[in-house]
Amino acid sequence: MTAQLPYPYIYADIPHLTEVCTNLVSNAVKYTGAGGTIRCGITQKPGEKEGWCDTVVTVADNGIGMSQEFQKHIFEPFERERTSTVSKVEGSGIGMGIVKKLVGLMGGAVEVESKIGVGSTFTVTIPCRIASEDEIQAKREINPSDQKCLCGTRILLTEDNDLNAEIATELLQEEGCTVDRAKDGVECVDMLEKAANGTYQLILMDVQMPVMNGYDATKKIRRMDDPQKANIPIVAMTANAFSEDKQVALDAGMNDHIAKPINMSVLVPTLRKYL
């Protein structure tokens, strides 16, 4: 790993950035054979706005590479080069879909250069606000590291979209959570009913789902005979952050409400309130 950082203190979305780097490195390892080389680098350059910089992360390998045609689709969910199957390399390719979405959430861009038999280089550019040492110290004092840890928390994630579920699961696992997924409200209610008491500490509930939406699932859970299950904390996930959406969630019996796409700096404190 090479590093030349003219701006040692920046504001960055660490969980999202960590997930991006993990996926890129895992992808490089998967498609680079024994004896191959993987190089990771991080640099910074002045940003477009005053007080901002661009943090540039590169992951380069000399693995099997990709065709020009496939590079046009590499960031689409579940895409994988046909030659990878021939090479006995397993994997769905969903990691690159996650990378594209997470980079977009951070306002950045991701590019790839690749050639069959030569290797691939992924470049991620993330705009970051420059911070001072005093700001960082003040933030550490406000947010001490001994805050309630989420490690060991088991969450029932109810989300019908595969990519959104994959991203949420990865980010929650980074915080030490164990995540089980239900694909709709009916499956969520069924999993909670069948689980032993105390299996789940909290439910993250998407509200717009087929079969049974999050509001109806919550109402059904609140009417369960078992008081421990009926009172499990439920946090709504919606595409909007309007106050009326939060009120609808509360009226349905949910404890709280967060907007999608998930922002871990909002979700983690919200989860801590109920654990």
What pLDDT, in 10s, does the model give residues 104-120? 888 899 999 999 999 99
Q: How confident is the model at residue 178 (pLDDT cuts 50, 70, 90)?
A: very high
Q: Distance of CA 244 to CAs 158, 179, 247, 273, Å? A: 22, 29, 5, 22
Element (H, E) at 33: none
**DSSP-based three-state secondary structure for 116:** coil
CB 129 within 8 A of CB 10: yes
Tell me what percent of the residues of the chain surpass a pLDDT of 70: 85
Closest CA to 254 of 205, 198, 209: 205
CATH architecture of 154-273: 3-Layer(aba) Sandwich (3.40)
Q: Return the top range by mean pLDDT from 55-59, 99-103, 150-154, 263-267.
A: 55-59
Cite the residue boundaries of each domain of the chain with CATH code 3.30.565.10: 2-134
Beta bridge partners of residue 156, listed in sequence order = 180, 203
Buried b / exposed e along 17-41 (16+ C-beta atoms within 10 A): bebbbebbeebbebbbeeeeebebe
Burial class (CB in 10 A: 0-12, 13-18, 19+), 200: buried
Q: Quick one: pLDDT at residue 56?
A: 95
Read off the amino acid at residue 121. Answer: T
Taking the model in full, what pTM does it have?
0.57
- How open is the CA angle 157-102-74, to the nearest 5 degrees? 110
130 is written with which tokens? 């420059």
Q: How far apart are CA 208 and CA 248, in angstroms?
A: 13
Domain 2-134 has CATH 3.40.50.300: no
Cite the residue boundaries of each domain of the chain with CATH code 3.40.50.2300: 154-273
79-89, pLDDT tens digit by residue?
444 444 444 44
Find where tokens 């969450």 sit: 155
Start-to-end CA distance of the chain, whole Å, equals 38
Q: How many other CB atoms sit within 10 Å of the CB of residue 99? A: 23
CB 223 within 8 A of CB 248: no
Q: Which residues are CB-neighbours of 137 under 8 A, at least 6 positions away?
A: none
14-23, 113-122, 240-249: segment of lowest average pLDDT: 240-249
Q: Quick one: pLDDT at residue 196?
A: 92
